[in-house]
A and B are shown apart, each in its own frame.
Chain A
Amino acid sequence: AQSVTQLGSHVSVSEGALVLLRCNYSSSVPPYLFWYVQYPNQGLQLLLKYTSAATLVKGINGFEAEFKKSETSFHLTKPSAHMSDAAEYFCAVSDRGNQAGTALIFGKGTTLSVSS
């Protein structure tokens, strides 16, 4: 069975600092992994996804994530935080690994705060 654990429900950084949001997964098959962002009272927007083509995945808004099989991790990073990055971030895994999935299994989310 697939599962996702996001370490840290709340992360605070200063504007211009490195952003690191942690995600570890458990999967019985090679996984497809996703990061989504949610602004208050809005739906989720896809930031990036890993589908085994490359271990370093670049997404929108300057975010990227690296798939590390040995660590079962898919941490999200951004070199320099902007105030507009303040939001909730969700890591997710496809419930059928790298087969055509039927649904996503989500972590509990990490709220990112950015201070000036």
Chain B
Amino acid sequence: DGGITQSPKYLFRKEGQNVTLSCEQNLNHDAMYWYRQDPGQGLRLIYYSQIVNDFQKGDIAEGYSVSREKKESFPLTVTSAQKNPTAFYLCASRTSGGPVTDTQYFGPGTRLTVL
């Protein structure tokens, strides 16, 4: 069954700790994305990767880091430098058939709470 999986669904972290959110896709998509969602603010882009071993910062990359060692995986690390990390994090991947067919598909999300 093809799709995007994110784990864990809920994550609790103490202040000062780094934490890594998992995102895996078996859709054979080249491009992957991380968004952060806060109430009333929509989704904001953290990082994206268009190909293995390459990634770019989005609008709110400070305090986050990523890696893209495999096509299927795009983990996000929330570091202690992120001042307000409590949020809902969404991973997405995109088809690459061309502009008309390009579509982003989303995983189920991880809700991170800093205690």
Contact = CB atoms under 8 A, between A and B. Distances in A.
A22 B17 CA distance: 41
A45 B109 CA distance: 12
A90 interface: yes
Main secondary structure of the interface of A (DSSP, over half): loop
A102 B98 contact: no
Given A98-B99, A106-B43, A108-B42, A44 B48 contact: no
Main secondary structure of the interface of B (DSSP, over half): strand
Contact of A100 (B6, B41, B98, B106): B98
Interface residues of B, number: 32
Contacts, number: 63
Interface residues of A, number: 26
A41 B109 contact: yes
B78 interface: no
Nearest to B50: A102
Nearest to A109: B42
B45 interface: yes
